[in-house]
Amino acid sequence: MSSGPLVSIVTPSFNQAKFLEETLRSVELQHHRPIQQIVIDGASTDRTVELLRGWAGRDHGPGYRFDWTSEPDRGHADALNKGFDRVKGEVVGWLNSDDVYFDRKVISTSVAALKAHPEVDIVHGEVAMISEDSGLQMIWCFPKFKYTRALRGYIISQPTVFFRRGVTDKHRLDPTLRVAIDHVYWLQIGREHRFLKIGRVQAGDRDHAARLSQTDRQLLMETGKQICALYGAGEKTRSFDRCRDGIWRILMRLRGILHGAAILRRYRAGRSDLAFPAWLDSPGGLLKRQITMRVTQRAPMGSRPLSPRGFYAAG
C-alpha cells in the first residue's frame, strides 16, 4: 500500500446494483491509502440499498472509509454535487456506478502526477471500453485536453479524471442537464484550470444498453452542439481543424493498439493487478474492435475467457 493525501471518490448511483459492486471493489483494491468512498444513490428500487448496507458493514481494512446515502434527487449532476459536499480529501475522483478503475495503481499514479505538477489541477488518462460483463472491448485513447478542441466536441474520459479539491469546491455541475454533464463541466473548469494527460489506461467505461449515450444518442449530440455554441464555438469548423482532428483520431487508434498489446503481454506473463474481473475473447478480436469499433456502438464479444482465470486476481 502507498500512503499520501486523503482521496475522495464520488459515485452517483441509481438502479445499477448489477454493476455497483465491481465499481466499489475497484476502489477498495487501490494501493493508495487513505481513501474516502462516497456513494450518493437516488432512492434506487433495485437491490442497491441492500448492497450498500452490506458493503458498509464489512471490514475493509485501515485507511478505507465508506460513506453513502440513498434519497430522491434531481438526477446525476445533483447526486454528484451532493457527493462533492461530503468530500474530505485533497484529491477528488468521479466514478460512475457502472464504471471501474482499471488497475490498482490508478489513484496512486494520479496523486503522484498532481504532486509532481503543482501547476496542474486536473489529471486524466486513457480508458478501456468494457462490455456489460467486463469483457475488454478496446482501448480508447485521447489527446491531452485542449479548450478549443473541447469546443469542437472532442472531450476527455470522465472516469479517468481526478481533481484537486479546490476545483470541485468552486465549480458544481448543472443539475438541469440530463446528458453531456461531463462535457459542460470540462468547458466550465477548463477556462481557469490546467489539465495534465497521464499516458496509461486508468479506467473501464462500461458499455451497456441502459447508458444514456445509447438510449439518448440524438439528445446527446444536439445538447453537445448547443453547449459548444454557448461556450463560444464557431458555427463552422475550419477545414484545417477537421483535418487535424482526423489525424488525432488515427493516432489515438494506433496508440490504443499499443496499449492493448502491452496489456496482453503483461497479463499473459501473470502480472495481474487489475481492479475488476476483466476477460478477453481473443487477441484477434481485440485488434479487430480496436480498428473498427465506434464509441457509439455496442460490440459483441466472443467466447469468454482468453484463459481459465481471465486477467483478474482478487484479493
How far is the C-alpha of 199 from the C-alpha of 191, rounded, in Å? 23
Contacts of residue 70, Cβ cutoff 8 Å, sequence gap at least 6? 41, 42, 43, 44, 48, 49, 52
Please give the span between the terminal C-alpha atoms of the chain, in angstroms, as a whole number: 13
CB 258 within 8 A of CB 200: no
How far is the C-alpha of 76 from the C-alpha of 176, rounded, in Å? 10
Spell out a b/e string for 245-284, using b for 16 or more CB atoms within 10 Å of the CB, else e: eeeeeeebbebbbebbeebbeebeeeebebbbbbbbbeee
In order along its 315 residues, the chain shows pLDDT tens digits of 777 999 999 999 999 999 999 999 999 999 999 999 999 999 999 999 999 999 999 999 999 999 999 999 999 999 999 999 999 999 999 999 999 999 999 999 999 999 999 999 999 999 999 999 999 999 999 999 999 888 887 889 999 999 999 999 999 999 988 788 999 999 999 999 999 999 999 999 998 777 655 555 566 666 666 776 777 765 555 677 778 888 888 899 999 999 999 988 877 777 678 999 988 888 888 888 888 887 656 667 766 655 545 565 544
3-state per-residue secondary structure call for 277-299: CCECCCHHHHHHHHHHCCCCCCC
CA distances to 38, 163, 195, 268 from 105, rounded to whole Å, are 19, 17, 20, 19
The whole-angstrom distance between residue 22's C-alpha and the CA centroid of its chain comes to 13
Burial class, 123, CB count within 10 angstroms (exposed 0-12 / middle 13-18 / buried 19+): buried
With CA atoms as reference, report the closest residue to 71 among 60, 86, 61, 82: 82
How far is the C-alpha of 50 from the C-alpha of 198, rounded, in Å? 36
Domains defined for the chain, CATH in brackets: 2-126+154-200 (3.90.550.10)
Please report the sign of the dihedral spanned by the C-alpha atoms of residue 115, residue 121, residue 94, residue 132: negative
Calculate the dihedral angle through the C-alpha atoms of 213, 219, 222, 224, rounding to the nearest 10 degrees. Answer: -40
- Enumerate the β-bridge partners of residue 126: 201
With CA atoms as reference, report the closest residue to 161 among 249, 84, 92: 92
pLDDT at 314: 47
Contacts of residue 214, Cβ cutoff 8 Å, sequence gap at least 6? 207, 208, 296, 298
With CA atoms as reference, report the closest residue to 204 among 76, 97, 92: 97
- Enumerate the β-bridge partners of residue 64: 35
Dump pLDDT digits (tens) for 10-49. Answer: 999 999 999 999 999 999 999 999 999 999 999 999 999 9
